[in-house]
Amino acid sequence: MSTIKENLFYTEDHEWISIEGNIATLGITDFAQSSLGDIVFVELPEADTTYDNGDSFGVVESIKSVSDLYTPLSGKVLEKNLEIEESPEKINENAFAAWLIKLELSDEDQVKELMDAKAYKEFCKANS
């Protein structure tokens, strides 16, 4: 079973979200990185790009496939993780340390739509 951290939120697209005030940090889960296999390329948006909930904000490419990344929250990109763009394999090494973007939320109520760790565990069991 993949690692699932208790203090984070999760999506059905296998992304983890950490919330501090109105700032969300997004990454892909351990389940996602293990399903993708060796990650060889990551494309992330520039700062000040604005997204609505459900918009594609980037791409993750592995030796198996190419997958779009979707933001589960609306907001403006404050920062992207340049280290991950330069060394995408770090996602495979530690998915929870390898954040992708930091987003300033425009609608904090959307956080209520995310899964907690318990719901995400059940989701993974039901979909594996």
Is CATH 3.40.30.10 correct for 9-121? no
* 21: Cβ contacts below 8 Å, ≥ 6 apart: none
> In the prediction, which pLDDT does 97 show?
94
Q: Quick one: pLDDT at residue 128?
A: 75
Query: What parts of the chain have a pLDDT lower than 70?
Result: 1
CA distance linking residue 92 with residue 109, whole number of Å: 31
The whole-number pLDDT of residue 127 equals 82
CA 112 to chain centre: 17
pLDDT of residue 95: 95
The pLDDT, as a whole number, for residue 2 is: 77
pTM exceeds 0.85: yes
100: left (phi over 0), alpha (psi -120 to 50) or beta: alpha
